[in-house]
Amino acid sequence: MTLFSALVVSVVFASGTFLLLQRDLLRTVVGIVLISNSATLFIVSAGLTRGAAPIYPLPEDGGVSDPLVQGMALTALIIGFAVAALLLAMVYRLYATHGTVDAEEISDAEMREAEALERADDPEKEEVPTEEQEPEEEEARAR
């Protein structure tokens, strides 16, 4: 079970990261949701005891499942959901301003702006002193 849980968690995590690497921003959000889910699954499966739900009256025979990981999982789950909602709003906003949900096209916009900035001036040369153009005395007198 240990190995199996670890495998499932990492498969979900890897799938999420694969989606993060796609150009489609919506897939990026889905990827974030998936990796959050993998973390939640890991938290729950990291429970140190397994058994019935930790609700009183407690079962007399066996133990209850670890309540602390459940608390943590709930918190993580909700935080993950909330930020996913925020990301969705951002994606929409990006679409509204860029007219696309393609990460590459949006990166291109960033690159264009950056290059415009780089082209704007070529400053470093002037901070290096120019070659000394001063004529030597003899030459100066000769002229």
Partner 1 sequence: MTGAVLLVLPIGIPWLLAAVLALADGRRRWVGLLAAAGLGASLVSLGFLASAVLREGAVEVVSGGWPIGVGISLRADALGVTFAAVSVGVILVSTLYEISLGVRWRVFPALVLLVAAGLNGLFLTGDAFNFYVFFEVSMTASFVLAGYREEDYQVRAAFLFAVINLLGSVVFLIGIAALYSITGSLDMETISRRAEGLEPSSVIVIAAVIFAAFCLKLGLFPFHFWLPAVYVGSHAPVAAILSGSLANIGSYGILRFGAGVLPRELELGSVAVMALGAASIVYGGLQAISRRDTSEVMAYSAIGQVGYILLAVGVGAPVGYAAAILYSVVNSLNKGVVFLAAGLRGPLVGGAFAVGAFSIAGVPPAAGFVGKIAVFKAAIAANPTFASLALVALIFAGSALSFLYSFQVYQRRFVKPDPRAPDKPSPRAARLLVAALAALVVLLGLWPEPLVYLSEAAAAVLTGGSG
Partner 2 sequence: MDVAWVPSWEVRLALSLDGLAALYALLATGIGFAVLVYSSRYLPLHLEHEGRPGSDAPRFYFFVLLFMGSMVGLAMAQDLILVFVFWDLTSIASYYLIGYDGHKGESRASALMALLVTGITAVLLLVGALLLYAEHGTFSVPELARMVEPGPLLTAAGFLIVVAGLAKSAQAPLHFWLPRAMAAPTPVSAYLHSAAMVAAGVLLIGRVYPLLQKSEPLLDALLVFGIASMAVGGVLALTRDALKQLLAYSTIAQYGFVVTMYGLGGPYGAGGAAYYVIVHAIAKSALFLTAGAVTEATGQDRLSKLGGLRGSMPLLAVSSGLAAATLTSLPLTLGFFADEFFFAAALERGPVLVGLAVASAATTLAYTWRFWSGLFLGEVRAVARRIPRLLIAPVVALGATGLIGGFFTGPFEGLAEAAGEVSLAAPTPLDATYHPEILPEYVMAAGAYALGTVFILTRPVWTRAALGVSKLGKIAGPERVYGLVVHRLNLFSDFVHRLEIRNLRGRVAAVLLPTAVLVGASVLATPTSGAYHVGPLRVEEAPLILVMLAVAVAAITTTFTRRHVTLALVLSSAGFALAVAYAFYGAPSVTLVAVLVETLLTVLLVATLKLIPYEVLHRQAELPLARTRRDVFVSVAAGAFAFVVVWGALSQPPAGQTVAEDHVRLAPQAQAKNVVTAILADFRGLDTLGEITVIALVLLGVGTLLGGVRPEALPADSGPPGTSGSTRPAARAVTQEVARLLYLPTLVVAAAILVKGFVQTGDGFSAGVVGALGVLLRYLAFGHEEAKRLPPVRHATAIAFSGLLVALGVAAFPLFAGEAVLTHSPPPGTEPVHLGTLELMTAVLFDFGVFLLVFGFAVGASSFFARASEASGAWGDGPR
Binding interface with partner 1 (CB under 8 A): 17, 20, 25, 28, 32, 35-36, 38-39, 42-43, 46, 48, 68-69, 72, 75-76, 79-80, 82-83, 86-87, 90-91, 93-94, 97-98, 106, 109-110, 113, 117-118, 120-121, 123-124, 127
Does 117 engage in binding with partner 2 (CB under 8 A)? no
Residue 112 in the binding site for partner 2 (CB under 8 A): no
* Contact partner, 27, from partner 2, partner 1, none, Cβ < 5-8 Å per class: partner 2
Give 57-104 as a DSSP string.
Answer: SPPSSS-B--HHHHHHHHHHHHHHHHHHHHHHHHHHHHHHHHS--BHH
Among partner 2, partner 1, none, residue 59 binds (CB under 5-8 Å by kind): none
Is residue 82 a contact point for partner 2 (CB under 8 A)?
yes
Residue 130: CB atoms within 10 Å: 7
Give the CA distances from residue 118 to residues 29, 76, 104, 106, 115, in Å, rounded to whole numbers and listed in that order: 32, 42, 20, 19, 5
